[in-house]
Amino acid sequence: MSTATDTLYYTTIDSPIGELLLVGDETALRRLHMRDSRKPLRIDPEWERDDERFADAIAQLREYFSGEREDFDVPLKLDGSEFQVRVWNELREIPYGTTISYGELARRIGQPTAARGVGMANGSNPIAVIVPCHRVIGADGSLTGYGGGLENKRTLLDLERGALC
């Protein structure tokens, strides 16, 4: 039997990288997906639409996309394995406008031979943009793998370099 604390809420917003779907519970944002991604998240009929619940996250995303915000302070709930959560938390430590390689990210979490696993965890990131998996690139500087598409990855990196503002 579900309780009020099991309720998930959602909203959508338009952005420079397409429509974004935000999903959360009573206390935190749990998902942020690009609707036009390779693996779009479908809106569950049991979720309740609640635009007001996400007002702060929406305001922060709009500031980010307009070049006025570099860091987010939205409460997050990262659901994943211990390894995935370590990777996702480390992603949040990559400074705005900076990129690192998958190998460097593996070194930062203390597992220098786990670049492939880091890449898989990166690809499973449940909270795009705010948990900035777009800041991870190939060792040779190339744009590689991004669930939202390489064009959107480039858009986010260009935004952070000041090329879009």
Q: DSSP for 128-141?
A: TTTS-GGGEE-TTS
Separation CA 72–CA 75 (nearest Å):
9
Separation CA 46–CA 49 (nearest Å):
10
* 133 has catalytic annotation: yes
Spot the catalytic one: 74, 133, 136, 157: 133
- CA Rg value for the chain: 16
Q: Are 76 and 131 in contact (CB under 8 A)?
A: yes
Active site residues: 133
